[in-house]
């Protein structure tokens, strides 16, 4: 498998960006790989990983950017910062542009507003991650055999779209194309609200069962609670941005969940044992559908 880009910039190197860089470097030792980070401390951490051709702080990079030497620009910063980054790009640019943000609607709007109706921006959402944050927690096979959702934005050229698909396949991913609204509505259910529900669960359980749990020689839990709690309180800065950007879809999904919770509570109040069994049987079927197994 091949891909077309030789000079790649990852602008924002957190856990996702660093994991991507490690994978790219493993697959192609000759690639020119540039990284832009926020702080001197991150720069040092990443330089020590010895993956990038060059690493710059944001300040250094913006003083002397190399936009025109690049074939691919990947924004790895929180979604709410991407509009201001697009504004920094020069008008004429040969590079294909993407991001790895978890919401698409506002990126879609920003691209249309700033880049107009002829551009090379295709938004990407690699469906992988970790409850940990920062380049020091990078994982070398994070992207392998995962799904990447592509959201081509009105006005992007076919060739760039083809190249970016090829790029994610080169990384080991499968691709799915969704428009920005469908992406955001779907992801509210399959990722964003679940992160909120997981976070709610630890706050709720700790409040009521925390004391007994503290007195125990081990956490009072099996793998079930532990797995459901894994993504609780993930990277607060990133999730703040996701909640803000996709507030409406997330809100709608939680209002649906609220209705379902009321039904479940009524089932528990007045239901028979057979209804309880039926509830778990239905869940078992729906789970198989969703997980495709």
Binders of a copy of itself in range 157-186 (CB under 8 A): 174-176, 178, 182, 185-186
State yes or no: residue 1 binds a copy of itself (CB under 8 A).
no
Binders of a copy of itself in range 192-221 (CB under 8 A): 194-210, 212-221
Strands 96-99 and 54-57: what pairing? unpaired
Choose among 7, 12, 8, 10: nearest CA to 37.
12
In whole angstroms, the minimum distance from the beta carbon of 271 to a copy of itself comes to: 8
Angle at 245 between CA 155 and CA 35, to 5 degrees: 70
Tell me the C-alpha to C-alpha distance, in Å, between residue 161 and each of 74, 83, 118, 166, 251: 14, 20, 13, 9, 32
CA 112 to chain centre: 22
In whole angstroms, the minimum distance from the beta carbon of 139 to a copy of itself comes to: 11
**Do 2 and 162 form a contact (C-beta atoms < 8 A)?**
no
How many other CB atoms sit within 10 Å of the CB of residue 50?
7
Q: Residues 10, 13, 86, 241: which binds a copy of itself (CB under 8 A)?
A: 241
State yes or no: residue 234 binds a copy of itself (CB under 8 A).
yes
In whole angstroms, the minimum distance from the beta carbon of 211 to a copy of itself comes to: 9
Candidates 4-12, 151-159, 160-168, 253-261; binding stretch for a copy of itself (CB under 8 A): 253-261
How many other CB atoms sit within 10 Å of the CB of residue 114?
14
Q: Residues 30, 127, 138, 159: which binds a copy of itself (CB under 8 A)?
A: 127
H or E segment to which residue 203 belongs: helix 193-215
Binders of a copy of itself in range 138-157 (CB under 8 A): 146-147, 149
Binders of a copy of itself in range 47-86 (CB under 8 A): 80
State yes or no: residue 247 binds a copy of itself (CB under 8 A).
yes
In whole angstroms, the minimum distance from the beta carbon of 93 to a copy of itself comes to: 30
Size of residue set near a copy of itself by CB under 8 A? 102
Candidates 10-18, 56-64, 150-158, 230-238; binding stretch for a copy of itself (CB under 8 A): 230-238
Residues written for the chain: 293
State yes or no: residue 109 binds a copy of itself (CB under 8 A).
no
Choose among 14, 20, 11: nearest CA to 237.
14
State yes or no: residue 20 binds a copy of itself (CB under 8 A).
no
């Amino acid at each position: 498998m091949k891909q077309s880009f030789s000079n790649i910039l990852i602008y924002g190197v957190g856990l996702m960006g660093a994991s991507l860089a490690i994978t790219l470097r493993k697959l192609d030792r000759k690639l020119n790989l540039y990284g832009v980070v926020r702080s001197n401390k991150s720069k040092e951490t990443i330089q020590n990983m010895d993956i990038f051709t060059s690493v710059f702080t944001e300040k250094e990079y913006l003083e002397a950017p190399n936009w025109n030497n690049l074939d691919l620009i990947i924004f790895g910063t929180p979604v709410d910062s991407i509009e201001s980054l697009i504004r920094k790009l020069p008008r004429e640019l040969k590079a294909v542009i993407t991001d790895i943000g978890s919401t698409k609607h506002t990126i879609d709007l920003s691209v249309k507003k700033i880049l107009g109706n002829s551009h090379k921006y295709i938004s990407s959402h690699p469906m992988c991650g970790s409850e940990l944050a920062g380049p020091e927690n990078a994982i070398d096979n994070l992207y392998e055999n995962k799904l990447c959702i592509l959201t081509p934005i009105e006005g992007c050229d076919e060739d760039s779209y083809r190249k970016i698909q090829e790029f994610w396949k080169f990384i080991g991913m499968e691709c799915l194309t969704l428009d920005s609204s469908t992406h955001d509505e779907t992801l509210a259910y399959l990722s964003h609200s679940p992160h909120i529900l997981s976070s709610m669960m630890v706050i709720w359980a700790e409040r009521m069962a925390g004391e007994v749990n503290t007195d125990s020689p081990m956490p009072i839990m099996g793998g079930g609670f532990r797995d459901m709690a894994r993504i609780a309180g993930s990277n607060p800065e990133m999730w703040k941005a996701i909640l803000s950007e996709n507030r409406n879809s997330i809100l709608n999904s939680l209002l649906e969940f609220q209705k379902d919770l009321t039904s479940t509570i009524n089932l528990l109040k007045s239901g028979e044992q057979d209804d309880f069994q039926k509830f778990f049987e239905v869940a078992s079927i729906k789970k198989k559908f969703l997980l495709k197994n």
